[in-house]
Chains A and B, each alone.
Chain A
Amino acid sequence: METLPFLDSLRSRLIDQGLPRNYVDRTVLELEDHFEDLLRFSSQSPVQLARCLDRFGTIDQLTQRLIAEYRQQSFAGRHPRLIFGLLPIPLSFLGAALFYLVSVAIIPHAFLWLTRNGWLIPHTPEAQQLGNLSAGLLNTVGEVVVPIACALLLFRLAYQGGWMKGWIWLSSGLVAAFCLASTITLRIQSVQSELGRNMQLSLQMSTPQSLSDFAIQALQATLPMLVALVCLGLNHWPRMPHSAGTIDAD
């Protein structure tokens, strides 16, 4: 049976309102089955048909109910302003702090391991060079990875909360986060020539000084925005309908 036009309209409305595509597809499929049964078990008189439609509920009612029920399920669904308006800022700081703390914790052990195995000799220009190189690499990776990780987390929350349409809030939140992340960054510094042992974490203002700084900040802002656009685009992409169920009862 072809999808009924009003169910297509319902599907479009739900997706436009930000509900995940796979949930919408599954629900519309069930509604289609239900409506098919309603018609099958009712006589085809106009009165019966009108009663069927009355019993099924209007498209407005269904849209409202489905959205309300879905968003009620998660904290992000119930508190979108908090999650997508305020969370990005502390999230960017915490994400950066976590990344660099883990890095600082791991690197000295890596250097120690290299030294013990005889692959690296301390207090040599090569060792100093490697220390600087690894610190620089981590800084660059952190500048890109952290914002993207934050963006993915926010979109995960948007998906769970049924707020995939909240791209305006998300975008503004993300922009704020990236601005903060790029002007105040946590950076690893390799100190003297003691390899990883003396690596320290410092908080410093880093306003863009050169074209490359601008380029890095632009990249920081652009990549997560691309992630946002891809996620939103995927939500509008048709998928396979809901297949089997989830859990066996007993």
Chain B
Amino acid sequence: MPEIVSSRMAPKSSNPDFLNGVPELLLLRLLARRPMYGYELVQAIRLASDGELEFGEGCIYPILHRLERDKKLASKRETVGGRSRVVYRVTPAGRKKLEQQQSLWEQTMLAIEKVLHGEDDRGNASIS
């Protein structure tokens, strides 16, 4: 069974490159609500996005480890539901980072929205 994993190529439903940085934002956001372990986090992302956001679930760990090394997260091995799991939580530095990232993301979204749905013709005017 596990050999199937090694022989497969990339999963069919990975998100494109422009979502770089988004997993960090989502992880910080979700962990700011309550401490969670890896599997829980992936499920929380899927539920919160109605299944729209999916990525290789194992790839979440390098991101968590990076955030932990940057002191944005802290981890602790705890017993959850009778099983031992590494539970992550946001540090004060992580909360600060979350605020910055969220603000940046909202600004970016607003700018993209303007370009996509703007009614005036300023973009074309400047090119011509």
In the bound complex, CA of A250 to CA of B73 (Å): 11
Known: A9-B6, A27-B61, A33-B39. A61 touches B56 (CB 8 A): yes
In the bound complex, CA of A57 to CA of B58 (Å): 6
- Chain B residues lying within 8 Å of A33, measured Cβ to Cβ, are 37-39, 83-86
Q: Is the CB of A34 within 8 A of B92?
A: no
In the bound complex, CA of A58 to CA of B58 (Å): 9
Interface SS of A by simple majority: helix
Known: A55-B56, A244-B76, A244-B77. A50 touches B86 (CB 8 A): no
Q: Is the CB of B77 within 8 A of A34?
A: no
Interface size on B, residues (CB 8 A): 44
Known: A33-B86, A38-B39, A246-B75. A54 touches B12 (CB 8 A): yes
Q: Does A152 count as interface, using CB distance less than 8 angstroms? A: no
Instruction: Find residues 154-199 in chain A having any chain B CB closer than 8 Å to their own CB.
Output: none
Q: Is the CB of A57 within 8 A of B59?
A: yes
Known: A73-B66, A245-B86. A61 touches B10 (CB 8 A): yes
Q: Kindly identify which residue among A9, A50, A68, A69 contacts B4, using a CB–CB cutoff of 8 Å.
A: A50
Known: A50-B4, A59-B6. A249 touches B89 (CB 8 A): yes
- Chain A residues lying within 8 Å of B69, measured Cβ to Cβ, are 73
Instruction: Find residues 58-101 in chain B having any chain A CB closer than 8 Å to their own CB.
Output: 58-59, 61-63, 65-66, 68-69, 71, 74-77, 83-87, 89-92
> Smallest distance from the beta carbon of B48 to chain A beta carbons, Å?
16
In the bound complex, CA of A59 to CA of B56 (Å): 10
In the bound complex, CA of A26 to CA of B64 (Å): 12
In the bound complex, CA of A80 to CA of B26 (Å): 32
- Chain A residues lying within 8 Å of B5, measured Cβ to Cβ, are 6, 53, 56-59
Q: Does A87 count as interface, using CB distance less than 8 angstroms? A: no
Q: Is the CB of B54 within 8 A of A245?
A: no
Q: Kindly identify which residue among B9, B37, B58 contacts A31, using a CB–CB cutoff of 8 Å.
A: B58
- Chain B residues lying within 8 Å of A31, measured Cβ to Cβ, are 58, 61
> Smallest distance from the beta carbon of A28 to chain B beta carbons, Å?
10
Q: Does A243 count as interface, using CB distance less than 8 angstroms? A: yes
Q: Is the CB of B10 within 8 A of A34?
A: no
Q: Kindly identify which residue among B38, B65, B74, B86 contacts A249, using a CB–CB cutoff of 8 Å.
A: B74
- Chain A residues lying within 8 Å of B55, measured Cβ to Cβ, are 57
Q: Is the CB of B59 within 8 A of A58?
A: no
- Chain A residues lying within 8 Å of B85, measured Cβ to Cβ, are 33
Question: Could you write out 13 A-B pairs with CB less than 8 Å apart?
Answer: A4-B2, A27-B61, A30-B61, A33-B39, A34-B57, A55-B54, A57-B58, A60-B6, A62-B56, A73-B66, A247-B71, A247-B91, A249-B89
Mark B residues whose CB is within 8 Å of A.
1-6, 8-13, 35, 37-39, 42, 54-59, 61-63, 65-66, 68-69, 71, 74-77, 83-87, 89-92
Told that A5-B3, A53-B5 touch, could you supply 11 new A-B pairs with CB distance under 8 A?
Answer: A30-B86, A34-B39, A38-B39, A54-B12, A55-B11, A57-B56, A62-B58, A65-B62, A243-B77, A245-B75, A247-B71
